[in-house]
């Protein structure tokens, strides 16, 4: 009898120990559905991020092949194309990160980075470089204007899809200053002392 009581006590104790575990399993059941829903959300967000990356990448490719870019001087075209290719490489890395994302947090983080790519910056850069190249010809004989053109060109070639609007404005400002300098040179300068008209001399008889 003592042995049976001891066994019964042991089983009762075991039941008390297992009870929370069983409850925990029951409580965890809704979590499985929640986990499934979370995976669905992650998959949906990853799909959207990959789409965003694809859109940005195609836009960069279009800029690379645009006539506006290919008509620039070779040395300037090369610099901008290298910047574009660097941005495309970054997008490729983000694409890999997005594909490996296993939470909505990771997917959102990648999407935030993708939104930071502003392809239109290259369109503005190409326009500034094109105008600078044209202005450089006119400024060939004006050292000050030529220096401003070079600064505009340097600033424009340093732009990329992450550049701030202020950086674009700096390049534009240099170009406007160069144009103003050339305009001042082209304007006729009034003489300080106006020349008085000479009265005709009457012939002597």
Q: What is the pLDDT of residue 34?
A: 53
Residue with tokens 């800029």: 63
Residue partners of 71: CB distance under 8 A and separation at least 6: 130
Is residue 114 within 8 A of residue 53, CB to CB? The reply is: yes
Question: Cβ distance 62 to 140 under 8 Å?
Answer: no
Q: Which two tokens stand for residue 170?
A: 């700096």
Give yes or no for a contact between 84 and 77, defined as CB atoms under 8 angstroms apart.
Answer: no
Rounded to whole angstroms, how far apart are CA atoms 86 and 9?
A: 72
pLDDT, residue 126, reads: 98
Query: Which stretches within the chain are classed as H helix?
Result: 2-65, 67-70, 74-100, 104-115, 120-138, 143-157, 165-186
Taking only the tens of pLDDT, the chain with its 205 residues reads: 444 444 444 444 444 444 444 444 334 434 444 566 588 999 999 999 999 999 999 999 999 999 999 999 999 999 999 999 999 999 999 999 999 999 999 999 999 999 999 999 999 999 999 999 999 999 999 999 999 999 999 999 999 999 999 999 999 999 999 999 999 865 554 544 444 454 555 555 4
Maximum pairwise Cα distance, the chain: 170
**Structure letter (DSSP) for residue 141:** G
Instruction: Give φ, ψ of 191 to 5 degrees.
Output: -65, 150
CA angle 117, 120, 121 (to 5 degrees): 80
Centroid of chain to Cα 199: 71
pLDDT of residue 38: 85
């Amino acid at each position: 009898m003592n042995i049976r009581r001891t066994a019964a006590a042991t089983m009762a104790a075991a039941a008390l120990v297992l009870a929370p575990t069983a409850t925990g399993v029951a409580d965890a059941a809704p979590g499985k559905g929640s986990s499934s829903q979370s995976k669905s959300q992650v998959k949906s967000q990853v799909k959207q991020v990959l789409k965003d990356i694809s859109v940005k990448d195609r836009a960069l490719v279009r800029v690379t092949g645009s006539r506006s870019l290919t008509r620039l001087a070779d040395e300037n075209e090369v610099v901008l194309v290298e910047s574009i290719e660097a941005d495309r490489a970054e997008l490729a890395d983000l694409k890999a990160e997005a594909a490996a994302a296993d939470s909505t947090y990771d997917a959102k983080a990648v999407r935030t980075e993708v939104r930071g790519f502003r392809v239109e910056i290259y369109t503005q850069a190409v326009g500034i470089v094109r105008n600078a190249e044209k202005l450089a010809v006119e400024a060939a004989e004006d050292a000050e204007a030529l220096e401003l053109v070079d600064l505009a060109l340097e600033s424009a070639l340093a732009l990329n899809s992450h550049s701030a609007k202020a950086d674009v404005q700096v390049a534009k400002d240099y170009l406007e200053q160069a144009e103003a300098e050339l305009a001042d040179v082209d304007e006729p300068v009034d003489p300080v002392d106006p020349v008085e008209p000479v009265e005709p001399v009457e012939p002597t008889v």
